[in-house]
Amino acid sequence: MEEAVNIVILALMAVTVIGIVFIRNLMAVVMLSGIYSLLAASVFVVLDAVDVAFTEAAVGAGISTVLFIGTLALTTRIEKKPAHKPYLPFIVVAITGAALIYGSFDMARFGDAEAVTNKHVAPYYLENTKKHTGIPNVVTAVLASYRGYDTLGEVVVIFTAGIGVILLLGSWRRGLTPPAPHKRDEA
């Protein structure tokens, strides 16, 4: 049953990606990428990674879509025809994809309890989270307490992104006088 659900969702994701590649209307592409994120969130639910699914649905399907629409409002809605032939990018993507698939052969078997990744720190967290923090959600305990330093870094990354947007596009720039007259103004 779970396998069938996985196959259906992954097939839908593939169809979505093919749609994104071929459609020139960027509004439709944005909608499709939102759908792709929602499908990815469904895969995470099937994998029992509810926290990740939650984030994917909120950030990928929600906020990213809104930001893309905002960008489209500032730029254009129709993708321009590429000026060059797509063969070189296609070869690069094909080789990278083949390398990634080749690399995946060395990965642990899906759901293998004997895999190194599942025997390293994971059993320690599962065993001791209740004892150390008394918190039922191990994901939150790992994120906020055991790996609190990493999460602090993530928050600083988001902080930096916000500062960057304010500096580049923020309303404070409207008060600035441009340092040199534009050529466009002289014309």
Partner 1 sequence: MKDYLVLRVITKLLVPFILLFGLYVQFHGDFGPGGGFQAGVIFAAGFVLYAMVFGVASAQRILPEGILRAGIAGGVLIYASVGLLGLILGENYLNYSPLSHVSKEGQHLGIFLIELGVGTTVASVMMTVFFTFATWREE
Among 7, 107, 122, 169, binds partner 1 (CB under 8 A): 169
Among 114, 171, 179, 180, binds partner 1 (CB under 8 A): 171
Q: What is the nearest approach in angstroms of partner 1 to the Cβ of residue 25?
A: 20
Q: Is 116 in the site for partner 1 (CB under 8 A)?
A: no
Q: What is the nearest approach in angstroms of partner 1 to the Cβ of residue 168?
A: 9
Among 59, 91, 95, 98, binds partner 1 (CB under 8 A): 59
Q: Is 46 in the site for partner 1 (CB under 8 A)?
A: no
Q: Which residues contact 31 (CB under 8 A, 6 or more apart)?
A: 65
- Read off the tokens for 110: 């899906």
Q: Is 183 in the site for partner 1 (CB under 8 A)?
A: no
- Read off the tokens for 75: 């730029």
Q: Which residues contact 42 (CB under 8 A, 6 or more apart)?
A: 9, 53
Helix, strand, coil share (%) of the chain residues, nearest 5: 75, 0, 25
Q: What is the nearest approach in angstroms of partner 1 to the Cβ of residue 186?
A: 16
Contacts with partner 1, 124-163, as mask; x by CB under 8 A: --------xxxxxx-xxx-xxx--xx-xx-xxx-xx-xxx
Among 50, 92, 122, 126, binds partner 1 (CB under 8 A): 50
- For residue 169, CA distances in Å to 8, 33, 159, 164 come to 42, 25, 15, 8
CB-CB contact of 53 with 73 (8 Å): no
Q: Report the candidate in 33, 93, 98 with the shortest Cα–Cα distance to residue 64.
A: 33
Fill in the amino acid letter for 84.
H
CB-CB contact of 144 with 151 (8 Å): yes
Among 10, 70, 97, 122, binds partner 1 (CB under 8 A): 70
Q: Is 165 in the site for partner 1 (CB under 8 A)?
A: yes
Per CB under 8 A, residues contacting partner 1 are 50-51, 53-55, 58-59, 62-63, 66-67, 70-71, 73-74, 132-137, 139-141, 143-145, 148-149, 151-152, 154-156, 158-159, 161-163, 165-166, 169-171, 173-174, 178
